[in-house]
Amino acid sequence: MAKGKVIFDEERCKGCELCISACPLNILGLKDEINSKGFHPAYVTDEEKCTGCANCATICPDVVITVYRIDK
């Protein structure tokens, strides 16, 4: 099974939650902390379950998500 690594540019994320709704595995959430713009940035809650599908990056309107596929 393919694995994925998701990286968020947390300073540019505005916490719109579109990526959270697009994740088929429900492994994204919003951090409790806020970034310098006053938003709660998104993050991966369970990195081990990520398959690298890139749905989150595709739907992000601000292009703050990078997805790497790691084939095993």
pLDDT in tens, 16-57: 999 999 999 999 999 999 999 999 999 999 999 999 999 999
Written as one string, the DSSP assignment of 4-70 is: EEEEE-TTT-----HHHHH-TT--EEE-SS--TTS---EEES-GGG-----HHHHH-TT--EEEEEE
Q: What is the model's pTM?
A: 0.91
The CATH fold of domain 3-70: Alpha-Beta Plaits (3.30.70)
Q: Provide the residue ranges of all domains of the chain, joining segments of one domain with +.
A: 3-70
pLDDT at 72 over 70: no
What integer is the mean pLDDT of 52-69?
Answer: 97
